[in-house]
Chain A
């Protein structure tokens, strides 16, 4: 029953927002980008390897949150050890390079 409620709610809110969108000005045109009329293409942002560590930790922590949430009714020593270990993993974040100011 709750699934039907959720689906109906999502349908209604999308419908409402779409109607609001349709009430707006329908005129649409393409133009050059902001850079003083100079045509540019999408740039690729350079990533440092450090971001991969952050991203990996992000995934691990995100999984932890769900895990803790699900096991919240029967939290035990294993959960605590797991949380401590994952907190200690923050120490493995590579040292920041000094920025030239």
Chain B
């Protein structure tokens, strides 16, 4: 099967510190992969490199076999850790922007997602609660018919009810031939939706494995393994 994403020996240095060291990751189609790591482990940096917002110091990234650039950005839908919206926008404006920027934006899917998320087009972005705002960001990103979705901490800082709604939306609106890379440090709430997980620690990949295999081998939840791996940090 064609690989959606190939990250090869990527290193990123910010002046004196290494954000990533020799990271190699390959993702096939139709998988939901958790990118797990504590704060500062390099999750956001890796996502930004794949999305083409920053360049690696060395190493290479290929999306659908091609380099990161306009062609890859057309098939990669990125939800960064900061809002994609401006404060003056309404929910409707936000979706119009997304539609204008990306030809793969699917207005029907956006409408279904709005309904599912209980968002209204006339709602003003700056009046939305944090949880509702996360729902809007996710709607914007998942309404594109992309091949690779990069979701940076989509459940960060939202209450458990909003979190459940966001996870349900992911399962409900996930296209089975696409790939999701989702970063989080809150593992227990979300581990039931992963196919596999990548553990990133101090800029290095220390494990990439299928979740049910890990549970079978260790008799432990991914959350418990996560806590063990990061305990000595």
Answer yes or no: do A and B interact.
no
A residues whose Cβ falls under 8 Å from a Cβ of B: none
B residues whose Cβ falls under 8 Å from a Cβ of A: none
